């Protein structure tokens, strides 16, 4: 079970362009502690993407969220398919 999951969602212009940009950051994700990732799209909405990145700790998830906000989402060349304002939240597992 991960220590934390960074949940990101936002509109995109097209998935292949978004995925190519996402893939360019694979080494950075590993470097910053991502242990697993899941990409989803709502059925019938190819213009939206949801991403979940697992981390060993909340601090690592928060640091990656800050990296996205400060170094990726502000630069059009780093996020060419971004078509709206991203939303990112750090999620922690709950015992039920």
What's the Cα-to-Cα distance from 5 to each of 14, 29, 51, 89, rounded to whole Å?
Answer: 25, 13, 10, 8
Domain boundaries, the chain: 4-91
pLDDT digits (tens, 9 = 90+) for 33-92: 999 999 999 999 999 999 999 999 999 999 999 999 999 998 877 788 889 899 999 999
- The structure's pTM equals 0.91
Q: How are strands ordered across the β-sheet holding 36-40? A: 36-40, 48-55, 4-11, 87-91
Distance in angstroms between the alpha carbons of the first and the last residue of the chain: 14
Average pLDDT of 2-8? 92
pLDDT for 80: 85
CATH 3.40.50.150: does it fit domain 4-91? Answer: no
């Amino acid at each position: 079970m991960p220590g934390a999951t960074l949940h990101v969602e936002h509109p995109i212009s097209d998935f292949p362009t978004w995925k190519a940009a996402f893939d360019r950051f694979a080494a950075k994700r590993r470097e910053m502690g991502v242990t697993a990732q899941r990409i989803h799209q709502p059925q019938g909405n190819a213009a939206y993407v949801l991403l979940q990145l697992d981390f060993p700790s909340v601090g690592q998830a928060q640091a990656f969220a800050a990296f996205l906000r400060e170094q990726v989402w502000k630069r059009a060349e780093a996020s060419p398919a971004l078509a709206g304002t991203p939303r990112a939240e750090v999620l922690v597992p709950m015992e039920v």
